[in-house]
Chains A and B, each alone.
Chain A
Amino acid sequence: MLLLDVRDLKTHFRTDDGVVRAVDGVSFQVEKGKTLAIVGESGCGKSVTCMTIMGLNSPRNSVITGEAIFKDRDLLKLPSEELRKVRGKEISMIFQDPMTSLNPVYTIGNQLIEAVRLHEKVGKQAASRRALEMLKAVSIPRAETRLEDYPHQFSGGMRQRVMIAMALINNPDLLIADEPTTALDVTTQAQILKLMNELQRDFGSAIILVTHDLGVVAETADDVLVMYAAKPAEEGSYSEIFYQPEHPYTWGLLSSLPRLAAQGSDLKPIPGTPPSLLNPPSGCRFHLRCGYSFDRCVSEVPEYVGVESGSEHQVACHLEHDFRLTESKRLIGDMMAEV
């Protein structure tokens, strides 16, 4: 069942240097109970996409167009009071940095209770019981006593668990997790990813997972959206993106990973750096760094369409479908076989 349908979303920021097109025509869908991963390098617009859906951009300097249909309502056109009722209740968010996203002067019990009482008319006691249950659900040891503790008394991994508890306390339909494990060590990351998977199974929430780590995507995602320079480059199921990607940028991302490189050989990086969104390249935004670009890539923006008619695997590239398939097999096939 379709839960969120984002169509041609654009977020442009007015700055002193000109208009930054941080998100420039992004469309995707999130199914109920599924995980959509949004990947891309820093500055590609993945976080801004989430902030826009949540209505967290300042209206003073941003211009937002497009649609984000969530349960028959367009989130982008909802009055702010209505949106406040959705935020934290039906859609909640986990931010990257667990060190700065909790309020340091309130106990975590206080913050969890606030999250409940904001949306439901329940007594303090009942809310407190919910808070305790949630802390237990995210496996925080000695949850009873820890409700009285302040954020600084928790380690990074534990704080991220508290954030997850807070995000899930109202049993949201959609959880937006913006780089939830980036600030954590690998063993802690493994704990948090496992926890998110279990909670998704138990609570049935859909997840939008924003990350730059393709390893994390491989472990958790059902569908993957690859973004480049504020535009979608490719979207498909995890097996399509990892085993049969059709966009040269996706090839480049996978080939850059040390894990997938043959031992002793050099890595195959993408040359150059991501472009400025103040002044993005003409045509296909990837053409300056793409080994396959030809005249059309410079002059004409590629359409973002299914790789074959009717296919849900979508890509924005001028290359021929057959050629892309062959190249994909040549570049990615062997690499994946060796891991």
Chain B
Amino acid sequence: MVESNGARNSQPLLEVEDLEKHFPITRGVIFQKEIGRVQAVDGVSFTVNKGETLGVVGESGCGKSTMARCIMRLLDSTGGKIVFDGKDITNLSGKDLLRVRRDLMMVFQDPYASLNPHKRVGAIIGEALQVHKIGNATENRRRVQELLEVVGLNPEHYNRFPHEFSGGQRQRIGVARALAIQPKLIVCDEPVSALDVSVQAQILNLLKRLQREFDLTYVFIAHDLDVVRHISDRVAVMYLGKIVELGTGEDLYQRPLHPYAGALLSAVPIPNPNVARARKPIVLEGDVPSPINPPSACRFHPRCPRFQPGRCDVDEPQLELHGGEHQVACHFPLETWPMADLSLPAAGSAAASSS
């Protein structure tokens, strides 16, 4: 949490403003006609301060990976602004973009698919050094061996191929690769989802140690709420391309305000049987709607236990401050936690009929 990063100053490293990424759906072969849009990310704003970890949680298809790819400039956004280290990088290209990429790195989800099986580990880790023309061959070799040691691997394994390593070791290679050019920001997209718990814990500890040692800033994307809470200073909850709640780990996990955040939290299995069996989880009905044709106004309203007709389906709630740094986009945020009573204090009939 907060105390884990002494350097947590409020100097922003990454500012994202109204970021939007729509993928067109086309029909026809020669004359392609746009017949719809997948609104994968739709108006997302947040800042990440130097030295902190911003966690992003949400279910599959909520746009968290698309957002990460936009920040990395692996995808061109269709709207909004990305400011990195005081510089607008939204529309950079060519040499300017390459220069920015020295400070931006990524760790991917699947340690089996994200390492080139034909290349030796040394070449994989050292590739970024070559791309950015840093150092000569001997220096780079030494640097790579140093990195292997930093992430807890044997420096002599420099010449091995990825298949000779286990999943956890491969993810360490992925982390070493991200560290090679000493970036300022590392975007981790589900870095531990494919790993077993005992190994997952090793990688989480490694990421935390590296953050302290190298003064790194992370955007940490995962669907596992416990993992995100453990590593993050602040956490954003996404639903269907939008951030619905953003706050410190403490805020969000002890006092969630958005009904979706509440439902998500209460759906996480607790590894303590007596606690788990005593609580009453809020089980959401139905599935996440399609981002092609998202529900009007508040996108959560068809599944929301506190839905108020005439308000939630007409008027879109904006992300607003609710004391301190805690932001929420909801007309009827939760008053209490755990959600003992889901109905609204004054209303009743309308809210009750939907549950």
Residues of chain A at the chain B interface (Cβ within 8 Å): 41-42, 141, 155, 157-158, 185-191, 193-194, 212-219, 238-239, 242, 252-261, 263-264, 266-271, 273-274, 336, 339
Contact = CB atoms under 8 A, between A and B. Distances in A.
Contact of A253 (B169, B197, B267, B286): B197
B276 interface: yes
Interface in B271-285: 271-277, 281, 283-284
B269 interface: yes
Interface stretch (B33-41, B224-232, B326-334): B224-232
A336 B272 contact: yes
15 contacts: A41-B197, A141-B286, A186-B223, A188-B287, A189-B267, A212-B196, A218-B276, A219-B269, A219-B273, A219-B276, A259-B271, A269-B200, A270-B201, A274-B196, A339-B270
Interface residues of B, number: 47
A269 B202 contact: yes
A194 B205 contact: no
Interface secondary structure of A, over-half rule: helix
B268 to A, nearest CB: 6
A260 B59 contact: no
B3 interface: yes
B269 A41 contact: no
B166 A273 contact: yes
A194 B208 contact: no
B68 interface: no
Nearest to A252: B198
A214 B197 CA distance: 9
A218 B196 contact: no
Contact of B275 (A214, A263, A339): A339
Contacts, number: 128
B199 interface: yes
A259 B264 contact: no
A264 B267 contact: no
Interface string B252-271: 00000000000110111111
Interface of B: 1, 3-4, 59-60, 166, 168-169, 196-202, 204-205, 208, 223-227, 229-231, 249, 263-264, 266-277, 281, 283-284, 286-288
Contacts of B286: 141
Contacts of B264: 186-187
A285 B208 CA distance: 30
Nearest to B203: A269
Given A219-B276, A336-B272, A187 B263 contact: yes
A188 B269 CA distance: 12
B169 A273 contact: yes
A218 B273 contact: yes
A186 B268 contact: yes
B231 to A, nearest CB: 8
Contacts of B169: 273
Contacts of B263: 187
A259 B205 contact: no
A98 to B, nearest CB: 13
Nearest to A188: B287
Contact of A258 (B4, B226, B266): B226
Contacts of B202: 269, 271
Given A186-B59, A194-B283, A215-B276, A260 B201 contact: no
A218 B275 CA distance: 9
A266 B281 contact: no
B271 A267 contact: no
Nearest to A221: B273
A299 B96 CA distance: 62
A254 B226 CA distance: 13
A263 B208 CA distance: 13
A189 B3 CA distance: 33
A58 to B, nearest CB: 25
